[in-house]
Structure 1
Amino acid sequence: MNRLTRDRWLGVSTIPFESAHEYLWCLRRRASRIRRSRVAHSRTDEASSRSHSLLIFSMYARISRQASIRLSVEFSPSMRALSIHDEVRATPDMGGIMLVPVIDISALYEDDPKAWRRVEEKLYEAHSTVGFSILTGHGVPARMMDDLFEASARFYALPLEQKLAYRFGANLRGYLPLGASTLIRSTLGSARMPNHSESFIVLNELDETLSEQWFRSAVGGHQIWPRDPKEFEIVVRRYRAAMTRVGEVIVQCFACMLGLSRDGLDGHFATPNPILRLLHYPPLPDREANQFGSAPHTDYGCLTFVAQDSVGGLQVRAADGSWFDVPPIEHALVLNTGQVMEAWSSGALKATPHRVINHPEKSRYSIGFFYDCGLNTRVVPVTSMNDALCDCMPQPKTYGEHLETMLRANYAFTG
């Protein structure tokens, strides 16, 4: 490709050597346009898009070297992860090398359309390739996170018989002891062993429009709360409220990614189904090959936000089947795309397999917040899509039916 053809393809007229950063910016913009065209026109030729993506990356690297822009590359064979600074992003076409980008989303709370658009483009780039991102500037106070981590650790430190007083029964609310969940039904097949983790799940109370239909379902019933620690319910409710606000603004971004207006998905989230899950992964010094804190899976719903402690253990599967760590960043939120969002986008946004490995010596604590659509929302591509559902789970049905099927298969309900 000569320079004139290259510059016309990029949509720019001339790129002086001194403007290498602007050149890189143009490359990123072009990559975003190609990905967007794949969403809006799902019949776009895959080979052509793949070729364009690889061309973008090779041109990016070449211009970076010419401009003497320092790209710091760190490769850890144990992590199977590549970290490239200056915001270079690998794509799934590049073998197993993948990266979870850190994205400051503070502009989503400001009245600056250009800055808002830049955040949206970064999120699209992340979730159309890796399926994961790490969010900073999300607005959830650090003290609020710390308080919930502390309350969670205090709860799990209680004697088992005391925790079992809040065990879940016919509904998925309350305490789940070790071994209570086994991923029998998953997009990745059946797990061989139960998850080596315990958790506490908090759901919304169903309003009168949903209660009759869903009360006897896995998400029905009434929430139970432990008495110890005494501040448990208060800090959980505060965190859920703060995370709901984060979920609302991120949904607006994802609506734009699907070619809709910012409020294009509001109807699906008029009565959302947020699920909060406090998780404890005990140490596992002699872990067997098929034993996990959380077996490999993709999430059932729309968007998952995870606050991690400093222990680590969350891993994402790369395109070649290898696994790489998602580094813990204090007070950041790990965001990943769920099966419903993948279905709405006809597969353009990725629900990437992930797992949790228990530390051999330390307990790991995390806070999962699943911001999901209304139970009666249809799981089909939104109106801007041309094709039917992609050949991935879930199949066309409501989110509630899909969730009920998965939960009943994977959890040991009683009653």
Structure 2
Amino acid sequence: MASIPHIDMSRYDNDFDALVQDIGKGYESFGFVALTQHGISDDIIHGALDISRELFALPEETKKKYHLKGKGGARGYTPFGTEIAKDAKHVDLKEFWHVGRELEGQAPYPQLTPNVWPEEVPAFKTRMLDLYQALDALGNKVLDALAVYLKQPRDFFRDKVNLGNSILRPLHYPPIIDEGTPSVRAAAHEDINVLTLLVGSREPGLEVLAKDGSWIEVSIIEGAIICNIGDMLQRMTNYLLPSTTHRVVNPPMPFSANSRYSIPFFLHFNPDVIIDALDSCVSEDRPKKDPAISSDDYLMERLREIGLIK
């Protein structure tokens, strides 16, 4: 973890200016930081991880009842061996469940479809929504600090993510039976979204690609939440804040004989937000790289690349 900055989020309330500089410089240098003193209780985090184990222990035929074919995995269950990283040759060794924003009444965007809940694990809904709301609030605090760092009003991102199709993804990487498999738990990739906040895993395997081309192992220290920049924010900042390549490798024995569980939260822009380079991130030395595109069009383009939408 020495290569990834630790950011004390308690300073959001008592030393915001220092937080702005540390978090901005940390992301500009690494694209990944570890959030400490973030205010999310261990009960919420461990409760969600524990109920995920219970969910994925269900029989395969039971889980597949909640797989919505043709929906790109937007909600409910996605079976093992479905997702493939962009430009990868082999599918990832994982299964997962998607929990979206829970709304009352008519959704303001068609992308905000109803959640799917497993009746066999009734506590799953409560624990996942508790974690969803906590990570959504924490992500907004990170964005407040980044907004100021990027010379924008503090609340610049607030109305751009308040109705985003943000996704909580309980993940299960099963034990690796074939040690010679060409597949890995998650091939090298960058995240599509704005920010990703990761809780768990207690098992090794997460690695981040350093600027010198080496892979750095990331261990989740007790209580910390890993938070990285996604491609959407990289694009909006004209690549000032990098979306860093990362992967989950197959660990050696005895770890490979065990399941790995983690829960990333993919924070998204509202579907109609236009992703365009901020004026403060464009200069003669840093010319604008990409044309403007709506966040929904960009998301659909990327989901096709990773095989979730055909």
Alignment TM-score, normalising by the size of structure 1: 0.68
Contact 1:294–1:357 (CA under 8 A) maintained in structure 2: yes
Of 107, 115, 120, the match for 2:20: 120
SS in 2 for 1:316: strand
Higher relative contact order (CA closer than 8 Å, sequence separation 6+): 2
Q: 2: CA distance between counterparts of 1:141 and 1:235?
A: 12
Of 83, 87, 93, the match for 1:181: 83
1:94 aligns with none
**Structure of greater Rg:** 1
Q: 2: CA distance between counterparts of 1:149 and 1:220?
A: 24
1:150 aligns with 50
SS in 2 for 1:330: coil
SS in 2 for 1:128: helix
The residue type equivalent to 1:243 in the other structure is L
SS in 1 for 2:275: coil
SS in 2 for 1:122: helix
Once the two structures are TM-superposed, the CA of residue 221 in structure 1 deviates from its matched residue by: 3.7
Of 279, 285, 296, the match for 2:188: 296
1:101 aligns with 5
Contact 1:300–1:339 (CA under 8 A) maintained in structure 2: yes
Once the two structures are TM-superposed, the CA of residue 271 in structure 1 deviates from its matched residue by: 2.1
Contact 1:302–1:340 (CA under 8 A) maintained in structure 2: yes
Of 351, 360, 373, the match for 2:269: 373
Of 99, 111, 114, the match for 1:202: 99
The residue type equivalent to 2:100 in the other structure is L
2:130 aligns with 238
1:90 aligns with none
Contact 2:95–2:172 (CA under 8 A) maintained in structure 1: yes
Distance change in 2, residues 1:243/1:182 (3 Å) = same
Unaligned segments of structure 2, at least 5 residues: none
SS in 1 for 2:98: strand
Q: 2: CA distance between counterparts of 1:195 and 1:326?
A: 19
Contact 1:380–1:389 (CA under 8 A) maintained in structure 2: no
Q: 2: CA distance between counterparts of 1:255 and 1:133?
A: 17
Once the two structures are TM-superposed, the CA of residue 155 in structure 1 deviates from its matched residue by: 0.6
Distance change in 2, residues 1:118/1:287 (3 Å) = farther
Residue 277 in structure 1 maps to residue 174 in structure 2? no
Distance change in 2, residues 1:276/1:268 (3 Å) = same
The residue type equivalent to 2:75 in the other structure is R
Once the two structures are TM-superposed, the CA of residue 289 in structure 1 deviates from its matched residue by: 7.3
The residue type equivalent to 2:88 in the other structure is A
Contact 2:144–2:157 (CA under 8 A) maintained in structure 1: yes
Q: 2: CA distance between counterparts of 1:120 and 1:176?
A: 37
- Superposition map of 1:349-364 within 5 A: 349-359=241-251, 360-364=256-260
Q: 2: CA distance between counterparts of 1:230 and 1:270?
A: 27
Contact 1:169–1:413 (CA under 8 A) maintained in structure 2: no
Once the two structures are TM-superposed, the CA of residue 329 in structure 1 deviates from its matched residue by: 1.2
Once the two structures are TM-superposed, the CA of residue 311 in structure 1 deviates from its matched residue by: 0.6
2:232 aligns with 340
SS in 1 for 2:145: helix
Contact 2:75–2:99 (CA under 8 A) maintained in structure 1: yes
Distance change in 2, residues 1:240/1:412 (3 Å) = closer
Once the two structures are TM-superposed, the CA of residue 382 in structure 1 deviates from its matched residue by: 2.1
Q: 1: CA distance between counterparts of 2:215 and 2:154?
A: 34
Unaligned segments of structure 1, at least 5 residues: 1-80, 84-98
1:408 aligns with 304
Once the two structures are TM-superposed, the CA of residue 220 in structure 1 deviates from its matched residue by: 5.2
- Normalized per residue, the structure richer in helix is 1
Contact 1:198–1:281 (CA under 8 A) maintained in structure 2: yes
Q: Count residues with an aligned counterpart.
A: 301
Contact 1:305–1:334 (CA under 8 A) maintained in structure 2: yes
Q: 2: CA distance between counterparts of 1:273 and 1:162?
A: 26
Distance change in 2, residues 1:389/1:197 (3 Å) = farther
Contact 1:297–1:353 (CA under 8 A) maintained in structure 2: yes
Render the CA deviation track for 1:38-93: whole Å, top value 9, x for unaligned: xxxxxxxxxxxxxxxxxxxxxxxxxxxxxxxxxxxxxxxxxxx8x3xxxxxxxxxx
1:163 aligns with 63
Residue 251 in structure 1 maps to residue 143 in structure 2? yes
2:295 aligns with 399
Contact 1:128–1:348 (CA under 8 A) maintained in structure 2: yes
Distance change in 2, residues 1:407/1:286 (3 Å) = same
Q: 2: CA distance between counterparts of 1:100 and 1:253?
A: 18
SS in 1 for 2:243: coil
Render the CA deviation track for 1:105-164: whole Å, top value 9, x for unaligned: 1111x2x3xx21222212112110111011111111101111101100001111111111
Q: 2: CA distance between counterparts of 1:273 and 1:412?
A: 16
Contact 1:379–1:398 (CA under 8 A) maintained in structure 2: yes
Q: Percent of aligned positions with the same letter in both sequences?
A: 27
Render the CA deviation track for 1:389-412: whole Å, top value 9, x for unaligned: 7547xx521111111111133235
